Structure 1
């Protein structure tokens, strides 16, 4: 099935606050680290347990004192925090080669929960052994840079939550998802697996119904579309919209 995205002439806007580049550069350094890490798991760490987690199954839950590190070998996992009142905030979506559970290295209770978005296979590694293997292979500096990039990404999300109205917050998270787990197909980036409207609502701090309205508007203005049942984004135009160069026709 081919995607159909219609282009509409943008209306003038009174303000345009530059928030980010429309298209971020390819993260080749992180990609190389993930490749090396997967190779390390297949060789030096091959005797560590492998977990198979079904869709919506838990890798770990908040409140536990699990001191393991998890490396995703296949599938995708979402990390979220749940408040005392039961509200859920989706923090991150991770894919093959990504590391989960770094807070376990601190030895304190986990504050986050990891749930499989689709059937996932993960390597479960004791924290001290994980760090030793990285040190022996000379990968500790790359791991520290990888953690630093995660911090920067989280800081961008916090800035978006504070400075953007809800509709543009959703656009920003869609753009980030396209960079994290998207696959380019021509001018579009296809986001797989399927991300539900409820999960998108957890990412931007709003209701599922409002997310549905925003997505309808994005489809009408050609910012997003569908490719074989999966959400696809025009990352260039989406970036322009976030920065104010392509204003919304209406605000909800």
Structure 2
């Protein structure tokens, strides 16, 4: 059985409050437009800013010593990213636009003062705890869960973040290649193709007329928890 991310409601409450502050309150930080494949920040930089994605999608990646890219997460509209920089540490990851994006860059000191003034500090601590849990769960799944189940978990998470349309059968409009999914799962492109074919055959996912991926949320969740045949 795979445990999915916890405390989503609390984190959503925090991000909702932060979004309202950034979008409708007095302007803070700097709005930046990124084109596809442009970096928000790069691995190795010391960058004492926190970032907020207003539109588009970004991916966060890190690299092995040999230069192989490891896909960490996808960030969708309304999400915060770059939290690691709050402590002034050297960034261990790069964040790259997967399509044209608009982001907001906020200096650490200004961000802390803003959420303190808005009464969001406690919710922010909970948000950071959830992010830490996500990372720990991803490491645990990588070590203890097979590739097929990891792919299913990632598809459910993407449906939560990026899904559109019917909430029971959300559509993911972002085009993800088998290579990108393979880097997220930690397996080969050919195995991703095999797993996706199996998921389609079992009615766990399908494809729209415009070739967008549709996730049958309840079926896939039941499958991952051993309750679907």
Tell me which residue corresponds to 1:198.
179
Tell me which residue corresponds to 1:31.
12
Higher relative contact order (CA 8 A, sep 6+): 1
1:57-100 residue CA offsets vs partner (Å, 9 max, x unmatched): 11111001111111111111111111111222211111222111
- Extract unaligned runs of 5+ from structure 1: 1-17, 248-252
Q: Report the count of equivalent residues.
A: 228
Structure ID, larger Rg? 1
Equivalent-residue separation in structure 2 for 1:143 and 1:213 (angstroms): 40
* Match for residue 153 of structure 1 among 134, 141, 157: 134
Cα offset, 1:112, TM superposition: 0.7
Tell me which residue corresponds to 1:236.
218
Tell me which residue corresponds to 2:98.
117
Aligned 1:122-133 pairs, distance under 5 A: 122-133=103-114
> TM-score normalized by structure 2?
0.91
Cα offset, 1:245, TM superposition: 2.7
Equivalent-residue separation in structure 1 for 2:150 and 2:106 (angstroms): 35
Cα offset, 1:200, TM superposition: 0.7
Q: Between Structure 1 and Structure 2, which shows a larger proportion of helix residues?
A: 2
1:186 and 1:112, CA in 2 relative to 1: closer, same or farther beyond 3 A? closer
Secondary structure of 2:119 counterpart: coil
Secondary structure of 1:97 counterpart: coil
Cα offset, 1:171, TM superposition: 1.1
Equivalent-residue separation in structure 1 for 2:215 and 2:51 (angstroms): 30
1:94-146 residue CA offsets vs partner (Å, 9 max, x unmatched): 12221111111111210011011221101111111111111111111111111
1:204 and 1:45, CA in 2 relative to 1: closer, same or farther beyond 3 A? farther
Equivalent-residue separation in structure 2 for 1:207 and 1:236 (angstroms): 27
Tell me which residue corresponds to 1:19.
2
- Extract unaligned runs of 5+ from structure 2: none
